């Protein structure tokens, strides 16, 4: 069975991909789909419960929650994609270097990674972001720069195995440069684990951005973010439950979708599960 057929048979991957596609469509068409301006304040409509005019209610300034969640999806996806792109660039480069060169280079890099992994990721992020301005660009950079270690270890382990294969030894025997051996003969064999890690990483990056925004260290108001909508919701938990419920569900289903897709891709692309 071909790859596409295996993907269609995997319900988790198909469900995750469908939900993610719908999310991207909603985020791209936010200006069209949003019934109200997400920044428009109407004090006379503050803290209204869900209704026909305001599908998911309003916040303490009378802003439409549904519109803000739609525009917040743009922030979450942008942070997830850009941060994971940076993570992949650093993780793959470091892992290839450590695994291929070996020796003292490998030892030094792995000790650095071990040291960084001693710190819980969220504390490492908080430590770094304390020295920079909390805006969306810095959030993307900080998440990407503090989340590459796991991917680097994965790539390094794969390269240690691949560099002893006959096709790599033959390429080196022909006198090809190290860069050509890495990029042409080794890197293509790492596409599957990198793709799976990147997919799972997007969900993790979105969750991290939401946590930072909830703490006031991420995307700053008035720009809508699922995290800063939740921050507002905690102050009105007993009288405006929709401010916590709906952005929370948005985060839940988005992260779950990327996790389903990542786990499904792992099953689809794993040669050990092929018939």
- List per-residue pLDDT tens for the chain, 275 residues long: 576 777 778 788 888 899 999 999 998 898 888 888 888 888 888 888 888 888 888 888 889 899 999 999 988 889 889 999 999 999 999 999 988 888 888 899 999 998 888 877 777 777 777 777 777 888 888 888 888 998 999 999 888 888 878 777 787 777 777 788 888 888 888 888 898 899 989 988 988 888 888 888 778 878 888 888 888 888 888 888 888 889 999 999 999 999 998 888 888 876 555 54
Distances (CA, A) of 218 to 224, 226, 233: 11, 11, 16
How confident is the model at residue 25, as a pLDDT?
92
**Which domains can be identified in the chain, with CATH numbers?**
3-273 (1.10.3720.10)
- In the prediction, which pLDDT does 264 show? 85
Joined together, the tokens standing for residue 133 give 């301005």
Spatial distance between the Cα atoms of 182 and 97, rounded to a whole number of angstroms: 9
What whole-number distance in Å separates Cα of residue 271 and Cα of residue 253?
A: 29
**Of 144, 151, 152, residue with least CA distance to 87:** 144
DSSP state, residue 48: P
Residue 120's pLDDT is 77
What pLDDT is recorded for position 222? 81
The SS3 assignment for 58 reads: strand
């Amino acid at each position: 069975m071909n790859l596409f057929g295996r993907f269609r048979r995997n319900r988790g991957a198909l469900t995750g991909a469908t939900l993610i596609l719908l999310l991207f469509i909603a985020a791209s068409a936010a200006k069209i789909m949003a019934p109200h301006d997400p920044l428009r304040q109407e004090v006379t409509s503050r803290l209204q419960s869900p209704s026909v005019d305001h599908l998911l209610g309003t916040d303490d300034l009378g802003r439409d929650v549904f519109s803000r969640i739609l525009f917040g999806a743009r922030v979450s996806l942008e942070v997830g994609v850009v941060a994971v792109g940076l993570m992949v660039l650093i993780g793959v480069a470091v892992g290839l270097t450590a695994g291929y060169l070996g020796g003292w280079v490998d030892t030094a890099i792995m000790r650095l990674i071990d040291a960084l992994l001693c710190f819980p990721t969220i504390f490492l992020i908080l430590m770094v972001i304390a020295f920079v301005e909390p805006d969306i660009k810095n959030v993307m950079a900080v998440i990407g720069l503090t989340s590459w270690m796991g991917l680097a270890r994965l790539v390094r382990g794969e390269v240690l195995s691949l560099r002893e294969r006959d096709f790599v030894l033959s390429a080196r025997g022909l006198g090809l440069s190290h860069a050509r051996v890495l990029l042409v003969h080794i890197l293509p064999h790492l596409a599957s684990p990198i793709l799976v890690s990147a997919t799972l990483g997007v969900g993790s990056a979105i969750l991290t951005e939401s946590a930072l925004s909830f703490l006031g260290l991420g995307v700053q108001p008035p720009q809508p973010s699922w995290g800063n909508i939740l921050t507002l919701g905690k102050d009105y938990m007993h009288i405006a439950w929709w401010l916590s419920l709906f952005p929370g569900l948005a985060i839940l289903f988005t992260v779950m979708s990327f996790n389903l897709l990542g786990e499904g891709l792992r099953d689809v692309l794993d040669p050990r599960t092929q018939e």
